[in-house]
Amino acid sequence: MCMLNILTLFIFLSEGVRSGPHLSWLPCKFSDHRVLISNEGARDVQHRERAAMLQFGRKDDTPINPDAITFLITESKLDLQSYLEDVDADHMDCEIHRSSADPDVKWPGQKSHEYNCWFSFTLTHREGLFTVSGFLRYPTEHPSSGEETTRNWPVIEDRETLFARAAMIMKTRTPSVTSGLGFQKKLHCQFAVDHKRSNVTVRWHQQHHDDLFVYASHSGKTKGTGVDLRNLASGDLSYTLPYTKVLHGGTYTCSVSVFPLFSSLGIVLEMQASPLVSLNVGPTLTLQEGEQKKVICEAENYYPLDVHIVWSKRDPEVSNQRVGAPLPKVLKNLLLSSHKHNTDKTFSLSGFFYLQASLQLSGRQFTCTVSHRSLRMPIKKSFILIVEEASSWLFILTVCIFVVALLVILYFMLRSLYQARKHSLEKKPY
């Protein structure tokens, strides 16, 4: 009966997580540290992962998993639960870390006899819909003099419940985004702090580049562009690229600093450009038997460098046959040019082969297939080969001799006729 009640409770809680407007709990990996003191007094900080739960509710709520450390997020000015939207718990990854933020710095709302133990968190949607990060503030008493800690970190026991509050939250709905060339692209980033009039410094930075945007509220000074200052007051730190280029690809970092806290989110922007595919022949190619033709398939202006070109041939009569149609035969004599670097940082490549015309190939359909990560489906360009039977050299020679002979005979006949006409005119009396 006890097991049945536990199972019923678990199903009820699971349904509550799935059907409610927001998540009520999440299983997490808690990265903790243990401080060991040697006989000589030296400290050794060891890293260890512990099972934990991130639970939303009131202080008198029972932990969902009593065997794990519970971070019970109680009501505060920041509603962390609302940032997770309407998603299932099994679509989320949760990580919690101890933070090295100074615990002795006073935080608004902190009581005089308390100090703050800080924990950073990262909540990631497994399908890349969003990422939420920030800090949890755990008010606690100063540790006793006999407790060995690092930066006054309190010892957290197994199955302990920590009543914490969200102090800072950051979120992006574009943790990974893809863009073509020549588009406007917006990298989403928002933040919130649990008190007003805080000295906030926000920053956008691209990896291996200088700062793109910096704003400090205490001075009101701004450096760089890309962020709408009108939206910054409401916590919208989104950055806009007006015209995307290949060089814009990379990792962007959106960061917020409110002493003693610093939080950041990484956003990966991948640039892609689809190849332009063309052939150097028309839809139909006519050749004489034995004639050779260089057939080129050109893939131009693509990015990044991962294009794949394949030439194949098949009988056009079976191209529309859905069942039992033989697969196209891939050509083995394909040659590839070297990659061409274009001025806009894109690439071009050609795949070609030398076609030797024969009557057996007449009517065959030749297809160039170009694949690239920017394409949902490969691009295909085709032509049909028509081979005409070559004329016999003996026949051509005979015809030429016959024509020449006729011309010679005609020449002498016309000459004789001219001479006879002239002689006749000379004998006529006047």
Residue 393: its pLDDT value, please?
A: 61
Q: Does residue 329 have a pLDDT over 70?
A: yes
Q: Does residue 143 have a pLDDT over 70?
A: no
Residue 205, token pair as written in the block = 């930075």
Q: What is the pLDDT of residues 68-126, one digit of tens each?
A: 999 999 877 889 999 998 888 889 999 999 988 888 788 887 777 778 889 999 999 99
Measured distance CA(204)–CA(251) in Å, rounded: 11
Domain 173-271, classified CATH 2.60.40.10, yes or no: yes
In the predicted model, what is the mean pLDDT of residues 371-384? 96
In the predicted model, what is the mean pLDDT of residues 130-146? 78
Residue 101: its pLDDT value, please?
A: 85
In the predicted model, what is the mean pLDDT of residues 121-133? 95
Q: How many CB atoms lie within 10 A of CB 334?
A: 15
* pTM for this prediction: 0.77
Strand locations in 282-419, DSSP E?
284-288, 292-302, 308-314, 329-330, 335-336, 340-341, 347-356, 365-371, 379-388
Q: Could you identify the residue written with the tokens 């274009």? A: 342
Residue 407: its pLDDT value, please?
A: 86
CA angle 281, 283, 288 (to 5 degrees): 65
The CATH class, in words, for 276-388 is mainly beta
Residue 145: its pLDDT value, please?
A: 41
Same CATH topology for 18-172 and 276-388: the answer is yes
Domain boundaries, the chain: 18-172, 173-271, 276-388
Cα Rg of the chain, angstroms: 39
Measured distance CA(38)–CA(46) in Å, rounded: 13
Q: What is the pLDDT of residues 232-255, one digit of tens each?
A: 889 999 999 999 999 999 999 999
In 3D space, the residue among 203, 200, 232 whose CA is nearest the CA of residue 219 turns out to be 200
In the predicted model, what is the mean pLDDT of residues 176-186? 94
Q: What is the pLDDT of residues 29-41, one digit of tens each?
A: 999 877 666 667 6
| More confident of the two residues 282 and 414 | 282
Q: What is the pLDDT of residues 390-408, one digit of tens each?
A: 765 666 777 788 888 888 8
Domain 18-172, classified CATH 2.60.40, yes or no: yes
Measured distance CA(225)–CA(240) in Å, rounded: 9
